A and B are shown apart, each in its own frame.
Chain A
Amino acid sequence: MTNYSVEATGLNKSFGRRLIFNDLEFKFNKAGVYGISGPNGSGKSTLVKIIAGIIAPSKGKIIHNLDNKLIAEEQLHNYIGFVSPYLVLYEEFSTYENLNLFAEIRGVKFDKERIDYLLNKFLLFKRKDDLLKTYSSGMKQRVKFIFALMHSPQLIILDEPTSNLDDEGKNSVYELVKEEGEKNIVLIASNEKSDIELCSDIVYLERYKN
């Protein structure tokens, strides 16, 4: 079980005069699958980017704690796994090369056993040495899951996790979400009914528009 917690306090984001959400509050402090839902343009992707420390909120803050100790912003990337349709990996490298480079840049050990397990789980082991540019969009989406999970993060953020995936790919993702949700915090931002059904607690963004 994780000792990780993520908390939003008085979160507000505006782009110019356009308010995305206001006074957003939540706290996830135990392992489980949590959801962020709302219609198109409601700010789901913006919120997950703020949680991952990629963009800054206009007001309020996100607090990440591990064992009741605050995680420094510059170290956050080591605790987070992130998957989204707009995430792009290096197409001039193979899956294995990409993962090896990411481990080196992160400064973590290249855990071959875990990576081979994930490659098998996402049915990519046979294609691990092929350049990413030769992959279909569904295969690229599956590589992103391996990228997100290779360093065993405590917080897994999945923005529209099943986009571009076939039924087999979706089933792999759902299996993995349930598996990871037992020991880590999994946060899903989606409109898909089947994605949201996995979540025990859901933040509805249309409630934070005033």
Chain B
Amino acid sequence: MNSKSYSLFLKDFKSELRTRYAINALAMFIIVAISVILFSVGNEKISQSLTGGLFWVVIFFTAMSGLSRAFVSEEERGTALTLQLIAAPSTIFSGKLIFNIILVFAMNTVIAILYSVLFEAFVIQNFALFLTSFVFGNIGLAVSSTIIAAIIAKAGAKGTLYPVLSFPILLPLILTSVQLTLFAFDGISFERAKFELAIVVSYDVIMLTASYMLFDFIWKE
């Protein structure tokens, strides 16, 4: 990542502030998804394991509704060609990745705050473990979503293809992140969670390496 990628990120950030392509979609989805869960739960007391699962379900579907915009908006507006004419593929991927990482962190922090306020069972005993899994989980989510967005941006049925392609790729990350969140609820130590943490970190490294290697082929028709 270099200053060119950072400039591309700034372009996307300024563009997002003016067009609200992703922010509005994400904000609406978070509000609607959490409201539906709250209405369906009613006065029932839900377990910690269910709360942890629902937390990552909201994160997964919110990511599906907003993160594809990074590349889809460029294709839909016809500006993908402009990008190809001003930057190398690695610069483009890095710039889009920085944007999606920041978006994922902002979005998931809001979801975590809403969960801790609205759900009684969302009580974290080991905050350091939760934070570590949250950080690595978010990075994995951003990397995978960015490369999947680049793949589907060229396809016809973008809306359908994104969750379909994302599901198998994100499943190992989501399952492990759910497990780590439950460990954090139970106050389990880092030592006992090291296997799951190693899976999440490995997932991030593999996805990041594979994405940089594949992006050239995906980006060029």
Q: Do A and B bind each other?
A: yes
- Chain A interface residues (CB < 8 Å from chain B): 52-56, 74-75, 77, 80, 82, 84, 86-93, 97, 101-102, 104-107, 147
A54: B residues at CB distance < 8 A: 81, 84-85, 220-221
List which B46-91 residues lie within 8 A (CB) of chain A.
Answer: 77-79, 81-82, 84-91
Nearest Cβ in chain B — how far from A149, in angstroms?
12
Contact B86 A105, beta carbon cutoff 8 Å: yes
Q: How many pairs of A and B residues are in contact by the CB < 8 Å rule? A: 76
By secondary structure, the B interface counts as helix
Contact B90 A106, beta carbon cutoff 8 Å: no
* Nearest 9 pairs of A and B residues by beta carbon: A88-B78, A104-B7, A74-B88, A92-B18, A55-B221, A105-B7, A107-B4, A101-B11, A105-B86
Closest to B87 in A: A105
Determine the distance from Cα of A170 to Cα of B11 in the docked complex, in whole angstroms: 31
A-B contact pairs, 5 of them (CB 8 A): A74-B88, A90-B77, A93-B18, A101-B10, A107-B3
Q: Mark B1-45, 1 if CB is under 8 A from A, else 0.
A: 011100110110011001100000000000000000000000000
Determine the distance from Cα of A93 to Cα of B8 in the docked complex, in whole angstroms: 14
Contact B84 A87, beta carbon cutoff 8 Å: no
Determine the distance from Cα of A52 to Cα of B19 in the docked complex, in whole angstroms: 30
Nearest Cβ in chain B — how far from A163, in angstroms?
15
Contact A52 B85, beta carbon cutoff 8 Å: yes
A82: B residues at CB distance < 8 A: 85
Using A77-B86, A77-B88, A93-B14 as known contacts, say yes or no to A105 and B221 having CB atoms under 8 A apart. no
Determine the distance from Cα of A52 to Cα of B85 in the docked complex, in whole angstroms: 8
